[in-house]
Amino acid sequence: MEKIQFSSWVCPLPLRSYPTVVMGHGSGGKMMQDLIEHMFKPLFQSSVLDQMGDSAVVAIPTNGAGSTRLAFSTDSFVVNPLIFPGGNIGTLAVHGTVNDLAMSGAQPKFLSVGFILEEGLPMDTLGEIASSLAEACRDAGVEVVTGDTKVVNKGHGDGLYINTAGVGVIPSGVDISPQYAQPGDVILLSGTVGDHGMAIMSVRQGLSFETHILSDSAALHSLVACMLAVSPGIHCLRDATRGGLTAALNELALASQVGFEIEEQLVPVNPAVHSACEMLGLDPFYVANEGKLVAVLPAEVADEVLSAMRDHPLGRDAVQIGRVVADHPGVVLTKTSIGAMRVLDLPAGELLPRIC
Amino acid sequence: MEKIQFSSWVCPLPLRSYPTVVMGHGSGGKMMQDLIEHMFKPLFQSSVLDQMGDSAVVAIPTNGAGSTRLAFSTDSFVVNPLIFPGGNIGTLAVHGTVNDLAMSGAQPKFLSVGFILEEGLPMDTLGEIASSLAEACRDAGVEVVTGDTKVVNKGHGDGLYINTAGVGVIPSGVDISPQYAQPGDVILLSGTVGDHGMAIMSVRQGLSFETHILSDSAALHSLVACMLAVSPGIHCLRDATRGGLTAALNELALASQVGFEIEEQLVPVNPAVHSACEMLGLDPFYVANEGKLVAVLPAEVADEVLSAMRDHPLGRDAVQIGRVVADHPGVVLTKTSIGAMRVLDLPAGELLPRIC
């Protein structure tokens, strides 16, 4: 691929000078990154937090000698509407946290669930969502062991918000981190992109699509287990949630300080998602997924891992989309369908707010 | 104490038939208990959840033989106003979860923090609260290792909500559960009751007290460690948060299926809290605390543990307030200052909403 010069780039917007929180601070983009880099990281001063994995990896001392490595993660869910094609806020709250644990290679074990309920929420709606949440836990083999319920006054929530936190156990021999991508590695993607975000958009007030798009929301830990069974030496895993495929690729390239080069036409997009994105002027590479992962791993195991992924229902459409290079560290380049190169940059703010 | 007959009691209100969520479902009272008993427990079917400890106690398999016991807990914080005398939602979010872990005898280790921010929240306010949260973590010796930030539209939150989840390690030899109270045990209380709730009330819109009441919000794990150092055989610990001392006592009596008998005048109440409660027609026994615990333990170690508590800054006013009996299982009786007996029953709903 030809070289692009980055040295003369300047940021056109003073992103850090917002005096108040705006929707973009909850995106998967630069504004959220700024908030984390310039407020949370300096305040919390944690080497674990600084690693910016999808989940924290911590060592727990055991009664005997040695220690056990746990994955620990949290997500709050504020998706609007609460119920959407292919899932609801309850299933999403399970899949989101289970996937964050799985991206460390952990076997998810225990979940906490915190409900923030709005006064006036129909009890039937709460029942339906809690029931879906419980079913998603059973399907994923995780146990809700602790919880909390708060109620806020009518008009001060959106029906309900859910927070889940999760604890998983990392098998010995598995060592996955966003910082481990190396030049020469290949980049795999587990399937089509943009489905979740466009499923939500398809039912937002004022919009209606002719085609029926389902969210891809799913628990990815069994797919990850199949991949690790073939090759425990996977370097990085990332689920492509807020900010879509673009955010996942940029975060990994930045954390590892390597360049990523992908080929646009290799990335699978469902035709219905493609049409809906065109209609709304959105790029599916930036649209959230809730059941897709990016894996970075040594080239010599790529075929084997890809084949294992394709044997799994959640990895049927898995493909190699690119490779890791030593050039342009922290930058993701993509080769377009007409052969041109462009930078696949993080969005500044929020394309699709309240998507998860 | 004289006998009271309970067999003819009937519940005057059909608590379970609410078609929508009301503020009372977020209280520490019967309505929340109903929601947990009749919706969440049947759905989630977890023996750990069923134990209803302040935190879940789970066994994690270790690499070698055996396992390590972890405490895992979560709390969402929706306190209004965000900043109050003696703390803010950030310090509360640390103390609340640290205390839930401590009530299992665990040494708190790791926290997750999930922010739900309202569009328009001044960045300074977020900074102040995040900074307090970080400082409270340093003081408590816990590390924020993972987090999440979501933003909801203006008018749809209350500035910010915070969820924290925590993981702690339970030392071997420590086995504390709300189900372990036994007839003959004594009941200790670590200090004055009602301070947190009345501190919040003192700054709520439309109210102003002459006296300055500070929240008692504090991390109790070092107090618990001192108590366990004297006697690892403590049966139950409970922090007296939503629903106050009354809820803590009722929950333990119910879980252990024993009777509790306490003496009202032994319970310390700050004079300013007493006056404020009188003015508002509130009973300090029902008002939330965020830095007070109830301990149930064998009578033979009570003096030693009480003395250890009084040597700790957070247990200076610790007292023995009563004892556990075999009679009237699940019911808490209190002897009033004029010598009469009354049932200290759980409130139905919410006396002071949005207190934590």
| ipTM associated with this complex | 0.93
- Candidates A293, A286, A283; CA nearest to A188 is A293
**Residue A72 and residue A59 in contact, taking contact as beta carbons nearer than 8 Å:** no
Report domain A54-59+67-172's class: alpha beta
State the burial class of residue A172 (Cβ atoms within 10 Å of its Cβ: 0-12, 13-18, 19+).
exposed
State the burial class of residue B186 (Cβ atoms within 10 Å of its Cβ: 0-12, 13-18, 19+).
buried
CATH 3.30.1330.10 in chain B is located at 66-172
The pLDDT of residue A89:
98
> What secondary structure letter does DSSP report for A186?
E
Show the tokens assigned to A129. Answer: 């969502």
Report CB contact under 8 Å: B353, A118: no
The residue of chain B with its CA nearest to that of A48 is: B145
How would you list the strands of the sheet with A341-343, edge to edge? A236-239, A293-297, A186-189, A319-325, A259-263, A332-335, A341-343
CA B289 from centroid of its chain's CA atoms: 7
Distance CA B208, CA B222 (A): 34
Distance CA B221, CA B142 (A): 11
SS3 A73: strand
Q: Comparing A26 with A142, which gets the higher pLDDT? A: A142
The pLDDT of residue B15:
46
Residue where the block lists tokens 């481990």:
A180
Show the tokens assigned to B146. Answer: 């993972």
- Candidates A57, A53, A37; CA nearest to A251 is A53
User: What percentage of chain A exceeds 70 in pLDDT?
Assistant: 92
Q: What is the 3-state secondary structure (H, E, C) of chain B?
A: CCCCCCCCCCCCCCHHHCCECCHHHHCCCHHHHHHHHHHHHHHHCCHHHHCCCCCEEEEEECCCCCEEEEEEEEEEECCCCCEECCEEHHHHHHHHHHHHHHCCCCEEEEEEEEEEEECCCEHHHHHHHHHHHHHHHHHHCCEEEEEEEEEECCCCCCCEEEEEEEEEECCCCCCCCCCCCCCCCEEEECCCCCHHHHHHHHCCCCCCCCCCCCCCCCCCHHHHHHHHHHCCCCCEEEECCCCHHHHHHHHHHHHHCCEEEEEHHHCCCCHHHHHHHHHHCCCHHHCCCCCCEEEEECHHHHHHHHHHHHCCHHHCCCEEEEEEECCCCCCEEEECCCCCEEECCCCCCCCCCCCC
Q: Which helix (H) or strand (E) holds A60?
A: strand A56-61
Distance CA A66, CA A62 (A): 6
Distance CA A238, CA A248 (A): 6
Residue A347, phi then psi, degrees to nearest 5: -70, 155
Q: Which residues of A touch B243 (CB under 8 A)?
A: none
A204 pLDDT tier (thresholds 50, 70, 90): confident
**Residue B129 and residue B82 in contact, taking contact as beta carbons nearer than 8 Å:** yes
CATH 3.30.1330.10 in chain A is located at 54-59+67-172
How would you list the strands of the sheet with A160-169, edge to edge? A56-61, A67-77, A160-169, A107-118, A143-152
Show the tokens assigned to A201. Answer: 């958009």
Q: What is the CA radius of gyration of chain A?
A: 20
Domain B66-172, CATH homologous superfamily name and number: PurM-like, N-terminal domain (3.30.1330.10)
Calculate the average pLDDT of chain A: 92
Q: Comparing B347 with A2, which gets the higher pLDDT? A: B347
A159 pLDDT tier (thresholds 50, 70, 90): very high
Instruction: Tell me the β-bridge partners of A238.
Output: A294
Mutate to test the interface with A, among B40, B145, B204 (most CBs of A within 10 A): B145
CATH 3.90.650.10 in chain A is located at 186-343
A3 pLDDT tier (thresholds 50, 70, 90): low
**Residue A154 and residue B21 in contact, taking contact as beta carbons nearer than 8 Å:** no
Task: Spell out, as residue ranges, where chain B has pLDDT lower than 70.
Answer: 1-16, 63-65, 205-211, 350
Q: Which residues of B touch A62 (CB under 8 A)?
A: 62-64, 66-68
User: What percentage of chain A exceeds 90 in pLDDT?
Assistant: 79
Show the tokens assigned to B75. Answer: 């709390």
Task: Measure B24 CA to nearest chain A CA, in Å.
Answer: 8
CA B86 from centroid of its chain's CA atoms: 17
The residue of chain B with its CA nearest to that of A115 is: B76
SS3 A82: coil
SS3 A74: strand
Q: Which helix (H) or strand (E) holds A70?
A: strand A67-77
* Domain boundaries A186-343, corresponding CATH code: 3.90.650.10
Q: Which helix (H) or strand (E) holds A310?
A: helix A302-310
The residue of chain B with its CA nearest to that of A17 is: B123
Distance CA A161, CA B330 (A): 33
- What is the number of residues in chain A? 356
Distance CA B327, CA A9 (A): 78
The pLDDT of residue A157:
86
CA A198 from centroid of its chain's CA atoms: 15
Mutate to test the interface with A, among B151, B167, B169 (most CBs of A within 10 A): B151
- Candidates B203, B139, B158, B170; CA nearest to B57 is B170
The pLDDT of residue B206:
63
Report CB contact under 8 Å: A74, B146: yes
Q: Kindly report which listed range (A125-129, A348-352, B29-33, B288-292) carries the lowest average pLDDT score.
A: A348-352
Task: Measure A33 CA to nearest chain B CA, in Å.
Answer: 10
Q: Kindly report which listed range (A68-72, A324-328, B66-70, B97-101) carries the lowest average pLDDT score.
A: B66-70
Report CB contact under 8 Å: A152, B158: yes
Given A46, A151, A169, which is nearest B145 (Cβ)?
A46
Show the tokens assigned to B10. Answer: 């009937």
Residue where the block lists tokens 């139950």:
B236
Mutate to test the interface with A, among B62, B150, B167, B175 (most CBs of A within 10 A): B150
Residue where the block lists tokens 């009749």:
B38
Residue where the block lists tokens 């396992």:
B67
The neighbour count for residue B278, using CB atoms within 10 Å, is 11
SS3 A122: strand
Q: Are strands B259-263 and B319-325 parallel, antiparallel or unpaired?
A: antiparallel
**Residue A145 and residue A60 in contact, taking contact as beta carbons nearer than 8 Å:** no
